[in-house]
Every structure is written in C-alpha cells, then in structure tokens.
Chains A and B, each alone.
Chain A
Amino acid sequence: MILTQQLVLGLLVGGLYGLAAAGLSLTFGVLRILNVAHGELLMLGGYAAFWLFALWGIDPFLSLLGIGPAMFILGLVLYWALFQFVVRAHEELRIKNSLLIGFGLTLVLHTLAIHFWTADERAVTTAYAGAVIRVGTLAIPLVRLTSLVLAFAVLTALQLFLARARWGRAIRATAEDWEAAALMGIPVGKTYLLAFALGTALAGIAGGLVSVSYSISPSIGLEWTLKALIVVVLAGLGSLFGCFAGGILLGLAEATSVVFLGGPYREVIGLLLFLIILVVRPQGLFGGRA
C-alpha cells in the first residue's frame, strides 16, 4: 500500500520532470546548446507564481497565463544578449561555450535570487492546497493532479504547434538539418530565437507548477537542471511526449527506490538510470537516431 501511494506521488512529480525536460530538450535539439541555467529559469517561474500569490493573492494556476508569456520574453532577451553569440560557432564549440555561459547565468540568477528574496524555502499555500481525492486507501493531492494535467496540456499544445504551424515545422526542420532549412528560405536565426524562448517559457510554467506542490528556494535550480538532463537522456531527443513519459518513468523509479531503499537513495536512482541508458541505449528510450 505504501508502494502504491508512493508510485502515485512519483507519477505526479514525474509529469513536472517531463515538463522541465521538454524545455531543455527543445533548446538542445534545435540549437544544439545545453542550457545548464534551465533549472534557474524554472526557479524564476516558481518565484513569479509565489510573489503573485503572496502580494496580490493571484491564484497560482491562473498566474501561469502571465508567467508563460513573461518567461517567453525573458527567453527572447537572454537569447539576444547571450546565446545568439554561441550558436554562430561550430557544433562542438557550441556545447562548450553554452556550458560556460549557462554556468555564468546560473551563478548570476542564483545570487540575485538570494539577494532579493533570501535563501528561505517558499511554497504557495492556497486555500485548497491540502485537498485530496481519495481512491480506496490512496490519497491523491488535488493540486499535484491538476499540475500533472496542466503539464500534459501544455506539452500537447506545443506538440500541435510543432506538428502543424508554419513556424513549428520550421523549428523541426532546423532541428533536423539547419543548412537544409536555410535552403528552404527558413531564417534559421529566428527559429533558434523562437525555440529558445519557448524553452524558457516551458521552464517558467514548470516552475510555477513546482511552487504550488513543492517548495522553492534560490538553490533548486541545479536539482531541476539535473532531473531535466536525466529525463532528456532517458527519453532521447525529438519527442515531447517522450520527455513526458521519461519524466514519469523517473518519478516512478524514484518512488520505488524510496520504498525499498529509503529516502536518501532517491537522487541516486536517477543518476543510475542515466548511466545505464548511456551505456545500453545512448539514443534514449524513444529517440530515433543514435
């Protein structure tokens, strides 16, 4: 029974891992850069939801409607100010330079967050925060369930955009072969900008959802970058729903390890999965190409 309850919680947190990973996967797949500040962007989204609730009492789920676009704009600015210089380099150089810039950005955002918001742990505690749905002896926290559904909805919307919209297809084409995309008349620089901004918006929305069900603090960034990275490796590049499934898989694996090995091993199991996948199936569970 404890196992089932833990698995339910693992499933619920897994959706957020998936959402966090989708943003990282998008920027990695399209721009071929690794944005290690992804978790810090998520942290910013979390604080946005927290302050909107603490100062003006805006419902955190409602504030996502503002946080998404605001983080999209922040993504535009970050790309324009920092990452546009990275993507001009050849591919091996891109990864290295993006790591340097990402770590720098991580430090800056982390320090600014401590400076302005202190290192205290925060959480959005709404009136309905404690509500649970009981199924037999299982207790399903309502806000976490809502978060899972919303994460799925956001990824579905993004998937539709990538599959159908003119610019969505341009992003996919650029991810597959940027030179061929340029030959189609696709302005590759603009698709990079768009993909990065979308990735940032995804991080922000994920952060908003994290603040509702879990705690946030200036230092959560690294942990979430790591989770997202594990999920991206687990799922492989190229599929948003693969990310979602990979996230849930990681959540379930963590839950299992909590029951059988104890809480402290929760973080170890993810890294173990990471290593196993890299050795056994480096293209990821759902990735098409090696």
Chain B
Amino acid sequence: MLEVDDLEVSYGALPALQRVNLRVGRGEIVALVGPNGAGKSTLLKTIAGLMTPRGGSIRWEGKRLDVEPPEHIVECGVALVPEGRRLFARMTVRENLELGAFTQRAQKERREQMERVYILFPRLREREDQLAGSLSGGEQQMLALGRALMGLPRLLLLDEPSMGLAPRVVESIFAILAELHRDGMSLLVVEQSVHAVLTLAQRAYLLEGGKIVGEGEGQTMLKDDHIRAAYLGPLARGTA
C-alpha cells in the first residue's frame, strides 16, 4: 500500500502541495484529477523521488520512500511513466527497454520480462531496432509504459498517459492499464481525460491548488456536480 501523509512540497517559496494525504491500496487503480497547475505532476514526481518534500511522509509497503533517491525507489517497485513520455529518443526501442531493467532486481529477469512486454505490445517487437524518436505518439506511449514495466514495478505512477493521442489509441492504452490491474498491479493515474479515468479507477482524488479537495469512488465522482461542471463539460451533464 502507498501511504502519503501530510505531504508538503514547494518550488522555492511557492507552495506546490499542502498537507496532501492519499492512499493507493494493493492492486487498486486510483485516479488523480484536477486542473492544470494543481500539483498532480509534482505529487507523482515527489513519490518517484525526483523532488524532495519539505514535510510529511511517503510510505510504500511500510518503507519510507521520501528519504530515498529515485534509483532506490525504482528498486522498491515503484515506477513513474512521466509526462511527455521522456523516451531516450536517440536509442532504439530495445535499448530503451533494456535501460528500463537497469536495477539489480530487474536485470535478473530482463529477458523474460521483455518477452512479456512484447506480448503486451506486439508493435514494439516489430519496431525493436528503430530509434525511439521515430515512433508514432501511440507507439511512444507504449514504449514508455513498456520501459517502466521492465523495472518490475508493483506500483505504476502514470502522468497523462493519453496526452496527444488519438481516441482509439487512448482506448487501447486504457485497456492495457485495465489488464495490468487484473494482474495485480497498483496504479495511480493522473489524467486529463477525466471521464475515461474515472470509469477505470476504483477511487479518485480531486486536487486543486495543491490541496486534496475531494475523494471518493470513481463512479461516485463521475456523478459529482462539481466534477461534472468543472471537468466533464456541459455535454457530459446531459449524457452521463
């Protein structure tokens, strides 16, 4: 279980997160929604160790993560698929995947895991020797996801996995997330496609201005008036 307690993060003097409390249970899909600049990415980056919190704590399976550097956090089984994918564009698909298995733990299962990733994303096997920078947006997102899976995570943090992708591609990415969830993976997903992610997620948090202002089951949040007005737009009100 991921336990975030009273987390405080700031950019210089500017507070980015204030007393954030959040839970992701084992095998649970949790969505994190909110407007731009609410601190969603900051929260994920802090959990992954790219930012150092000013206060509070982050625990994963009982172990304190907030005092660890990113490489130890990956070793503990927590992986972030960052916003904008951040692939190694000048390396091949295969090299990107192999780098995903850099940790000692993942090195041992590298071959088997790559096979699993290729079964999950057959397109990546076809593009194995191509440079990551030459892939289409959807393929890049698959590679970013596959690369994170190479590290054998038990908790996957996803920052805007649908960004810039065609609706059909988004659908297939979300289908993969659902499949990972069925296999027991815990997921924390930041997403602009609020309707899609709330349908997928068991629970959701609403983050505004660096604070958690709402929390509930995905289906309940979908029907919440505030969420529908702010994030699902006027059309959703009629159809949902």
Contacts and interface: CB of A to CB of B under 8 A. Distances in A.
A38 B90 CA distance: 27
A30 to B, nearest CB: 13
Contact of B71 (A166, A179, A185, A288): A185
Given A169-B98, A169-B99, A173-B99, A187 B74 contact: no
Given A170-B102, A179-B82, A180-B82, A185 B88 contact: no
A176 B102 contact: no
A172 interface: yes
Contacts of B80: 183
Contact of A187 (B50, B69, B91): B69
Nearest to A177: B86
B201 interface: no
Interface string A167-209: 0011011001101111111111000000000000000000000
Nearest to B103: A185
A238 interface: yes
Nearest to A170: B102
Interface size class of B (residues with CB under 8 A): 20 to 34
A185 B74 contact: yes
A173 B91 contact: yes
B33 to A, nearest CB: 23
B50 A186 contact: no
B69 A183 contact: no
Nearest to A288: B90
A184 B102 contact: yes
B212 interface: no
Interface string B158-183: 00000000000000000000000000
B106 interface: yes
Interface string B90-105: 1100010011101100
B86 A186 contact: no
Given A169-B95, A170-B102, A182 B49 contact: yes
Nearest to A172: B91
A284 to B, nearest CB: 15
Contacts of B147: 184
A176 B69 contact: no
B119 interface: no
Contacts of B79: 183
B82 A172 contact: no
B70 interface: yes
A179 B151 contact: no
Interface string B51-83: 000000000000000000111001100011010
Which 10 A-B residue pairs are closest in the complex by CB-CB distance?
A: A185-B74, A185-B103, A180-B86, A182-B70, A185-B71, A185-B102, A187-B71, A184-B102, A176-B88, A184-B99
Interface of A: 166, 169-170, 172-173, 176-177, 179-188, 238, 288
9 contacts: A169-B98, A177-B86, A177-B88, A179-B50, A179-B82, A183-B79, A185-B71, A188-B71, A288-B90
Given A182-B69, A184-B99, 19 more contacts: A170-B99, A170-B102, A173-B88, A173-B91, A173-B99, A179-B50, A180-B86, A183-B48, A183-B74, A183-B86, A183-B148, A184-B151, A185-B74, A185-B103, A185-B106, A186-B71, A186-B99, A187-B69, A288-B90
